[in-house]
């Protein structure tokens, strides 16, 4: 083993440990998204039954469903990013030679990382502003607006880190020489 390979091993071990921790947080986020989606479905079914069979609609169901919808979308986003499940029009990248294709893949992931960081910053500052000013929702039963919007920066930040990871980790389709 050369001195260069020895120096790379601890760095790779740290990267893999960080990736493992990131995966655990992302999986938890994904599972919470599934719970939010299930709750959303149950509340919609409850609302339909109450409204059409008992003529007694709830006053709070639509409000809670808006919050659950935000949770479901923003908490699943990091898992979609982790699995590279985002929609991509890759006709140009697919026609590139393997070396340039890998470079372009990394550039796209880095640009996506930057865009998610920008979205994190914008949504985070807005959520913080809502918290500081005490802005409430305009629902039938108002709640602090940051309760709903705070999940948005979380989803964008975790997705940004996943894009960064996709950009710096070796591509699974390319063999890494030791």
Quick: pLDDT tens for 109-166: 999 999 999 999 999 999 999 999 999 998 888 999 999 999 999 999 999 999 999 9
> Angle formed by the axes of helices 3-52 and 151-168, to 10°?
150
Assigned domain for 156 exists: yes
User: How far is it, in rounded angstroms, from Cα 96 to Cα 106?
Assistant: 14
Assigned domain for 178 exists: no
User: How far is it, in rounded angstroms, from Cα 129 to Cα 138?
Assistant: 17
Assigned domain for 72 exists: yes
Number of domains within the chain: 1
Phi, psi of 54 (to 5 degrees): -115, 0
DSSP 8-state assignment for residue 43: H
Contact 69, 40 (CB under 8 A): yes
């Amino acid at each position: 083993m050369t001195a260069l390979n020895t120096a790379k091993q601890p760095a790779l071990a740290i990267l893999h440990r960080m990736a493992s921790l990131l995966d655990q947080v992302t999986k938890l986020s994904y599972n919470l998204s599934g719970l939010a989606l299930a709750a959303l479905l149950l509340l919609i079914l409850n609302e339909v039954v109450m409204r059409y069979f008992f003529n007694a609609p709830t006053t709070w169901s639509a409000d809670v469903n808006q919050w659950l919808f935000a949770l479901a979308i923003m908490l699943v986003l990091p898992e979609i990013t982790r699995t590279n499940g985002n929609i991509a029009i890759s006709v140009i990248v697919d026609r590139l030679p393997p070396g340039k294709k890998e470079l372009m893949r990394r550039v796209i992931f880095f640009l996506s990382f930057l865009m998610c960081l920008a979205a994190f910053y914008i949504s985070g500052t807005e959520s913080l502003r809502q918290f500081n000013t005490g802005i409430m929702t305009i629902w039938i039963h108002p709640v602090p607006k940051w309760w709903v919007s705070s999940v948005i920066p979380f989803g964008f930040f975790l997705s940004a880190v996943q894009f960064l990871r996709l950009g710096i980790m070796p591509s699974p389709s390319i063999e890494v020489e030791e």
